[in-house]
Structure 1
Amino acid sequence: MPIKQTTTLMRYFFLLATFFITILSSAQMLSNKQGKYTRADTLRGSLRPERSNYDVLKYDLFVKVNPAEKHISGVNKITFKALKRLPVMQLDLFENMQIDSITLRGKKLKYRREYNAVFIEFEKPINRKRERTLYFYYSGYPIIANNPPWDGGFIFTKDQNGKDWVSVAVQGTGASLWYPNKDHLSDEPEEAEIHITTPQGLVGVSNGRLIGKEKIDNDYIQWNWKVVNPINNYNIILDIGDYVHFSDQYKDLDLEYYVLSYNLEKAKKSFQEVIPMMDCFYEKIGPYPFPEDSYKLVETPFLGMEHQSAVAYGNGFNYGYMGRDLSATGVGLNWDYIIIHESGHEWFGNSITAKDIADMWIHESFTSYTEAIYIECRWGLEKSLTYLNGLRKTMVGNQTPIIGDYGVNAEGSGDMYFKGANMINTLRFMINDDEKWWNILNKFTSEFKHSQTDTEAVIAFFEKETGLELESFFNQYLRYTQLPHLEFKNENGNLFYRWKTDVENFNMPVELLANNKEIRIEPTNSWQKLDDKLNTDNLKINFRKFYITSNLQDVL
């Protein structure tokens, strides 16, 4: 997901950086309530038997959209498998939406509603390993987003020719805002079909591949799409507009593009960036994870979102982030932020998905690091490091932890983007072996492909592959606001150093520069003496590679 628009102003107001960064740290959060949680939050974010006792296998979603009335109606045919005896199941649909009926094998089921949760009672409990398909009919006027994609909802607008242009963005808010589903990141359907009924003259675009269209009546047409890979709920999308389609090819991957008719020539030029991006990502982080469903960019009336195999694009065919450079270094103006960032989510967020939104850093930190990867592929490592270092100054607040609270649908700090990217970059130079580093990233996207995971599993993977103890490293960056501080003291002309951290037993190698010569030391939380033979006249920390703080210059 893109970071919030207003944060780009910070590059112009460095004297007010502290003020803006404080705002940023809270403004980027989609759902963090800082511990003030309600029953509704628990129902949305937790796993109880009504949710955990079944596995969703498929959504077959039919949605009719009436832009003039800002109204939708439809049915989701939900195929599921009971993992344990299942007398009651929880699905989710926002309480402002109407339930028309819920049926199983032609019979209506009883249900009760509590906030946005719907508890469905089966006439007879469904036994373990049984598969069933229920039909959930619904309709209503969905919530309209005031500032998409940062607040969830539908977008009903007009293009510059006065034609209807419709989309929806619901990350954090919940896909149950517009269709019934098991609205929790831990369970993805293995496949999905999305059937969008639009007014005649408009095109309906969704995830996966177009498998056909059919005329409903003189006023409406239905567009049928199919996804054959697992997909998380907030990635399921509908886009409706006066779209034209063009395509390209990268190796065996189909590249499909849908843009407003009058933007065709701009898009053909702008979207050429996809080819060098794929070249870079295939090499550095592994093959595209959903080739069966193709890769798509779809022009949308909001900035962007990582909708799987149908990436939302609204950057105006500009370089940078709406024509601005988030890093204030100039490096960010060489490429289209939304194409690179949102496409990076196909690997991190869409293929590798956090089980709980509290671990959203797994999506955003790695994806923000793909920006630096792309820069390195195109313009070299030094430009990449310049970009990352610039982001530390303009885009990181260090006010609240990156990891949120579990079980209540709560994200942590917006620092999950660029503090997280700098954390991952630091890990790279801790390893100090680029061939090994890129092999590890490729293995990460391969072994965790199409899975739901958590912080503990990610740490365990990187510990195994690097041979390093990394729990303290990740915990310091993710669970605390302060960066690792490399503390020095001078006693009788001798320099001593140690890590000062919130976590105990913090072990992290770091690189010093002495007359531009690279020297690695391995500080711990205990004082160690610096080598007497080391010339300290021009001693520096390599801050470009390591995201830490230090008092070295004050001591020398």
Structure 2
Amino acid sequence: MDNRTFFRAAAPVTAALLALTTGCTGSTVQGRPGAAGLRDPFFPKAGNGGYDVSHYDLAIDYRPDSGRLSGTAVITARATQGLSSFNLDLSGLDVEDVKVQDASARFNRTGQELTVRPAEDLKKGQEFRTVVTYSGKPRTVNDPDGSAEGWIPTGDGAVAVGEPVGSMAWFPGNHHPSDKATYDITLTVPKGYEAVSNGRLESRTEKNGTSAFRWRSAQPMAGYLAIAAIGKYRVTTGRTASGIPVYNAVAPEEAAASAEALGRIPEIVDWGSRRFGAYPFDAAGAVVEAEDTLGYALETQTRPVYPGAPTDDLVVHEMAHQWFGNSVSPKSWKDMWLNEGFATYAEWLWSEDHGGLTAEEHFRAFLKGDTKADPSADADWGAFPPANPPSAKAISDDPVYYRGAMVLHRIRQEVGDRKFFDLVRGWTAEHRHGNASTADFVAYTEQRTGKDLDEQVWQNWLYGADKPKG
């Protein structure tokens, strides 16, 4: 057989097959599959490529007696390439139906990936709406460091927390901090339960023995910062001096012990606004669970969650995250020190401003291992450089928090107070409601302060493998 004759005959067939498989009528392929995962250094499967989400509208119905959840997720996004298919992150739960642009879409599941094939290819730049209907018993997810996240049953309900990837246990989405979106979250529960999420409570509706709580997050949020908390909470409300509403939901057994620290939230918000720049959200507050519910506190956006009654320092730390981590979010999980170093340094600043140790005294205590001055000074803060955690398990280890804070204090020592606090406020303004990396911070710091800090700070404290001595 003459190969040239074969290929001439096959060409029209190949073109026809391409048209059928891509939904196109010409020889130009309009769409291709979006990436399954964003290749994050520590969580490569988290998030997905090919689109950018602008809004989630989640309707969640949860029955504590059976532990079953029914959900509908309406996801509005823009295609950043032509798409023949795209992925959503979803762990567990049964998907019943998927529609894209009001047309039924084919879908399949592999691990945490829900792959969606629209009836027609999506064009680059096109805004599109995906509706996923799903149900089942949501899972608890174990982190690389052994801690639990995802959907966690409690004595009288459940709490959903998501750092770093647990949010995919209760709603489908693009679950990487680099893709932030606004949210409407409606939680429907049996009458007599409270249901709490992020942002402002827009409405509470009683119907047929149920209560539906509709929450709105008008400012962008990374998926790992979403919260759903369901229980027999005691709810208190108030406002900061600047008028920001405060909504606290507390497990009854923790109410008395929590009152003092939670009562300082308005003061902490206003203090942070002076130190770090304007508070970035339109709501504040807290969720306090029973002491044995979680092994950690988490800075869920506008409404951090605490495992038992928090201390003042812990509330300062989690509220500081509203600026550092929530408004200015990491580009990748390798950049966690930008979240935790700043939040830890906020504790030192609060102490300095309220008659306790100065930040300089905290810094010196860590250098000397002086636990009389600071009980945390025996932390293994020199184990690795904060900009280079060795593994996903290490992103919540001591160097990320304490050496991260020490990096910030070294900058302050080098440039002085005026330039340092100008830098901090400029950083939160420049990247407000966005994402930033360690490289972004290094470049911004030198540009803003006009000082080369490579030898004094970056090589030794931020990237250096050896434990700095001063």
Would you say same fold, with TM above 0.5?
yes
**Counterpart amino acid of residue 271 in structure 1:** L
How big is each residue's C-alpha offset from its partner over 1:491-542, in whole Å with a ceiling of 9 and x where there is no partner?
xxxxxxxxxxxxxxxxxxxxxxxxxxxxxxxxxxxxxxxxxxxxxxxxxxxx
Aligned-pair CA distance for 1:225? 0.6
Q: 1:47 to 1:471 in 2, by over 3 A?
A: farther
Aligned-pair CA distance for 1:416? 0.5
Q: Find the counterpart in structure 2 of residue 281 from structure 1.
A: 272
Equivalent of residue 57 in structure 2, options 55, 60, 64: 60
Q: Find the counterpart in structure 1 of residue 237 from structure 2.
A: 247
Q: 1:451 to 1:40 in 2, by over 3 A?
A: closer
- Determine helix, strand or coil for the equivalent of 2:467: coil
- Determine helix, strand or coil for the equivalent of 1:439: helix
Could you say what the CA RMSD is over the residues aligned between the two structures, in angstroms? 2.8
Q: 1:169 to 1:442 in 2, by over 3 A?
A: same
Aligned-pair CA distance for 1:115? 2.0
Equivalent of residue 344 in structure 2, options 343, 368, 373: 368
Q: Find the counterpart in structure 2 of residue 199 from structure 1.
A: 190
Aligned-pair CA distance for 1:133? 0.9
- Determine helix, strand or coil for the equivalent of 1:428: helix
Q: 1:42 to 1:456 in 2, by over 3 A?
A: closer
**Counterpart amino acid of residue 234 in structure 1:** Y
**Counterpart amino acid of residue 174 in structure 1:** G
How big is each residue's C-alpha offset from its partner over 1:354-390, in whole Å with a ceiling of 9 and x where there is no partner?
111111111111111111111111115x443333444
Aligned-pair CA distance for 1:202? 0.5
Over the matched positions of the two proteins, sequence identity in percent amounts to 24
In 1, Cα distance between equivalents of 2:422 and 2:411: 14
Q: Find the counterpart in structure 2 of residue 238 from structure 1.
A: 228
Q: 1:483 to 1:450 in 2, by over 3 A?
A: same
In 2, Cα distance between equivalents of 1:41 and 1:150: 23
Q: 5+ unaligned residues in a row in structure 2: which ranges?
A: 1-35, 370-377
Equivalent of residue 446 in structure 2, options 458, 463, 478: 463
2:80/2:124 contact within 8 Å kept: yes
Select the structure with the greater relative contact order (CA < 8 A; seq sep ≥ 6). Answer: 1
Q: Find the counterpart in structure 1 of residue 104 from structure 2.
A: 108
Q: Find the counterpart in structure 2 of residue 129 from structure 1.
A: 125
Alignment of 1:508-527 (within 5 A): none
Q: Find the counterpart in structure 2 of residue 316 from structure 1.
A: 309
Q: Find the counterpart in structure 2 of residue 323 from structure 1.
A: none
In 2, Cα distance between equivalents of 1:214 and 1:483: 56
Normalized against structure 1, the TM-score is what? 0.69
Q: 1:54 to 1:410 in 2, by over 3 A?
A: farther
Q: 1:149 to 1:213 in 2, by over 3 A?
A: farther
Normalized against structure 2, the TM-score is what? 0.81
1:55/1:82 contact within 8 Å kept: yes
Q: 1:343 to 1:195 in 2, by over 3 A?
A: same
| 1:144 matched to 2:135 | no
| 1:439 matched to 2:430 | no
Aligned-pair CA distance for 1:237? 0.7
Q: 1:411 to 1:181 in 2, by over 3 A?
A: farther
| 1:307 matched to 2:300 | yes
How big is each residue's C-alpha offset from its partner over 1:37-60, in whole Å with a ceiling of 9 and x where there is no partner?
xx9895994489x93321101000
Q: 5+ unaligned residues in a row in structure 1: which ranges?
A: 1-38, 159-163, 320-335, 485-547, 550-556
- Determine helix, strand or coil for the equivalent of 1:166: strand
2:221/2:326 contact within 8 Å kept: yes
In 2, Cα distance between equivalents of 1:307 and 1:337: 17
How big is each residue's C-alpha offset from its partner over 1:385-424, in whole Å with a ceiling of 9 and x where there is no partner?
3334445531224233433579x97764611101111111
Q: 1:454 to 1:41 in 2, by over 3 A?
A: closer
- Determine helix, strand or coil for the equivalent of 1:125: coil
Alignment of 1:291-302 (within 5 A): 292=282, 294-300=283-289, 301-302=293-294
Q: Find the counterpart in structure 1 of residue 32 from structure 2.
A: none
Alignment of 1:14-163 (within 5 A): 42=39, 45-46=43-44, 51-94=48-91, 96-144=92-140, 150-158=147-155
In 2, Cα distance between equivalents of 1:137 and 1:298: 28
| 1:223 matched to 2:213 | yes
| 1:420 matched to 2:411 | no
Aligned-pair CA distance for 1:149? 9.5
1:53/1:82 contact within 8 Å kept: yes
Q: Find the counterpart in structure 1 of residue 361 from structure 2.
A: 386
Q: 1:463 to 1:40 in 2, by over 3 A?
A: closer
Q: 1:232 to 1:359 in 2, by over 3 A?
A: same
Question: 121-130 or 54-63, which moves further after superposition?
Answer: 121-130
Q: Find the counterpart in structure 1 of residue 175 from structure 2.
A: 183
In 2, Cα distance between equivalents of 1:409 and 1:180: 22
1:194/1:226 contact within 8 Å kept: yes
Q: How many residues are treated as equivalent by the alignment?
A: 417
Equivalent of residue 479 in structure 1, options 448, 460, 463: 463
How big is each residue's C-alpha offset from its partner over 1:97-132, in whole Å with a ceiling of 9 and x where there is no partner?
222221124432112333212221122211122111
Q: Find the counterpart in structure 2 of residue 167 from structure 1.
A: 159
1:104/1:133 contact within 8 Å kept: yes
In 2, Cα distance between equivalents of 1:233 and 1:410: 20
Aligned-pair CA distance for 1:467? 1.3
In 1, Cα distance between equivalents of 2:87 and 2:396: 29
In 2, Cα distance between equivalents of 1:245 and 1:123: 46
Q: 1:480 to 1:150 in 2, by over 3 A?
A: farther
In 2, Cα distance between equivalents of 1:58 and 1:448: 20
In 1, Cα distance between equivalents of 2:407 and 2:380: 12
